[in-house]
Amino acid sequence: MNTNDTHSPGGAAAGSLSEYLLGLSLSVILTAVPFAVVMSGTLGETLSIILILLCAIGQVMVQLVFFLHMNTSSQQMWNSVSGIFVVLLVVILIVGSLWIMQHLNHNMLMGH
């Protein structure tokens, strides 16, 4: 009757061993690939950067799903909504800083 009994507090579903093992294996792969690429230096710089970015985003997603058990259930809606809001803040913060500082460099140093 009380569904809260089968869940940990905060709506964070209790994971299972297979979930953690899958998360660990995916994380190992997504760590090994970018390290191998950069250490061997086989790919060019641009391709390497794209690969590092993709693996990083992938591993963050993997850990959010398999270690932090985030999902789209209504019990976790506030967790997800606040998380998405913070992702927006982070993007504005980082992209905005880089944008402003690049213009500043351009106008102050690279000018006449």
Partner 1 sequence: MANMVLKAPRPGYTGYVEQEHHHDYGGDTVFGFWIYILSDCVLFATLFAVFAVLQSNFAGTIQAKDLFELDYVLAETALLLASSFTFGLAVLSANKKSMAGLVVWLGITFALGAGFLYMEINEFIHFTHEGAAAWSSGAWSAFYGLIGTHGLHVFAGMLWMLVLFGLLFKEGLSDNNIVRLMCLSLFWHFLDIIWICVFSFVYLMGVL
User: Under the criterion CB under 8 A, does residue 18 sit at the interface with partner 1?
Assistant: no
**Which distant-in-sequence residues (6+ apart) come within 8 Å of 55 by Cβ?**
30, 31, 33, 34
**For partner 1, the closer CB: 1 or 111:** 1
CB of 50 to partner 1, least distance (A): 11
CB of 107 to partner 1, least distance (A): 15
Number of residues binding to partner 1, judged by CB under 8 A: 47
User: Under the criterion CB under 8 A, does residue 14 sit at the interface with partner 1?
Assistant: yes
Among 29, 42, 53, 106, binds partner 1 (CB under 8 A): 53
